[in-house]
């Protein structure tokens, strides 16, 4: 496959979860990867998986909350791999903590810093290096960026905000043939969904709930009869928006949620 042949993609949060799957999926289609994360060991595993696809990868430890570090890492990756065509602002954090007025201020600030300011830092670090032929900026938002997320106002606020950022960027960068879109996953088979805290929140009637115990709870929230989407399904959406198949798509929100947003609206 060669939908990304000759192209380079910058991905934040690439050490694990969806970020790693994005890196591998784009590499499968011919892309070389600039991978940023905070976890060195996790980045090494991502690098091994990308190289197994026969592609090059540059890795760097960088905190997206730090503009200087993020810019330096992006610049070093572009210098090594020679160009940049796609920016995937994927790094994010979340916790369900309770009602909006009970959220700890430090937690609120951390969520905004990573999920919103970190996205702006990522785009700012990468956009100057995007190919003169144009490029694609893909911001990973969430279904929480399209509707209410009780118990996670800090996360929902940031994920709504990046939609506004993306739509503004689409207007500003269109004349450079740079497309900007957001992807909105629902429940995904990563640690952000499949973790003991989520299990306990969804099944408070059990003393030690596991993933299998929340299957019916999550499936009931979807139009399609599945409890969650697989990471690769989100990566396939990223791949589409990064590829020339989406060359005239900009300023849009692509939802990958098995129909949960539509079900909530009905």
pLDDT in tens, 199-243: 888 899 999 999 999 999 999 999 999 999 999 999 999 999 999
Is residue 213 situated within a structural domain? Answer: no
Collapsing DSSP to helix, strand or coil, 41 comes out as helix
Q: Which of 216, 213, 185, 219 is nearest to 200 (CA)?
A: 213
Asked if 64 contacts 87 with a C-beta cutoff of 8 angstroms, the reply is no
Q: Known catalytic residue: 155?
A: yes
What domain range includes position 120?
A: 8-188+230-258
From the list 179, 236, 194, the residue with the least C-alpha distance to 21 is 236
Catalytic member of 13, 42, 155, 229: 155
What are the structure tokens assigned to 214, written together? 């929340």
What pLDDT is stored for residue 197 in this prediction?
85
Low-confidence ranges of the chain (pLDDT < 70): 1
- Enumerate the β-bridge partners of residue 33: 9, 57
Q: What local confidence, expressed as pLDDT, does residue 246 receive?
A: 98
82 domain residue, yes or no: yes
The 10s digit of each residue's pLDDT in 88-103 is 999 999 877 778 998 9
Residue 1 lies in a domain: no
- List the alpha helices (DSSP H) in the chain: 17-28, 40-51, 67-81, 105-112, 118-127, 153-173, 196-202, 215-219, 231-242, 260-265
**Within a domain: 211:** no
Distance CA 44, CA 35 (A): 10
CATH code of 102's domain: 3.40.50.720
Q: Which residue from 91, 168, 182, 92 is spatially nearest to 136, judged by alpha carbons?
A: 182
- Count of the separate structural domains present in the chain: 1
Query: Quick check: is 18 in a domain?
Result: yes
Q: Look at residue 130 in the predicted model and tell me its pLDDT.
A: 95
pLDDT at 82: 97
In a domain, 224, yes or no: no
Whether the full predicted model's pTM is greater than 0.85, yes or no, is: yes
Task: Name the residue among 79, 88, 95 with its Cα closest to residue 243.
Answer: 88
Indicate the SS3 state at residue 167.
Answer: helix
Supply the pLDDT for residue 1. 65
d(CA 202, CA 200): 6
């Amino acid at each position: 496959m060669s939908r990304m042949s000759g192209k380079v993609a910058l991905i934040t949060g690439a050490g694990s979860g969806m970020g790693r799957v994005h890196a591998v999926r784009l590499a499968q289609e011919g892309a070389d990867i600039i991978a940023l994360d905070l976890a060195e060991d996790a980045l090494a595993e991502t690098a091994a998986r990308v190289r197994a696809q026969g592609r090059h990868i540059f890795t760097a430890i960088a905190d997206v909350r730090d503009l200087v570090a993020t810019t330096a890492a992006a610049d070093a990756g572009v210098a090594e791999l020679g160009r940049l065509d796609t920016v995937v602002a994927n790094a994010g954090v979340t916790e369900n903590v309770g009602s909006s007025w009970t959220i700890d201020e430090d937690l609120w600030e951390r969520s905004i810093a990573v999920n919103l300011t970190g996205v702006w830092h990522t785009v700012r670090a990468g956009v100057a290096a995007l190919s003169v032929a144009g490029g694609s900026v893909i911001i990973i938002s969430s279904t929480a960026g399209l509707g209410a997320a009780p118990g996670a106002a800090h996360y929902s606020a940031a994920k709504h905000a990046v939609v506004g950022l993306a739509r503004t960027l689409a207007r500003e960068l269109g004349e450079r043939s740079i497309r900007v879109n957001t992807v909105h996953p629902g429940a995904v088979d990563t640690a952000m969904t499949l973790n003991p805290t989520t299990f306990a929140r969804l099944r408070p009637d059990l003393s030690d709930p596991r993933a299998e115990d929340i299957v019916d709870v999550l499936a009931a929230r979807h139009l399609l009869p599945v409890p969650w989407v697989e990471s690769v399904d989100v990566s396939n959406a990223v791949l589409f928006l990064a590829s020339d198949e989406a060359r005239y798509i900009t300023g849009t929100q692509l939802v990958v949620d098995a129909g949960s947003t539509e079900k909530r609206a009905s």
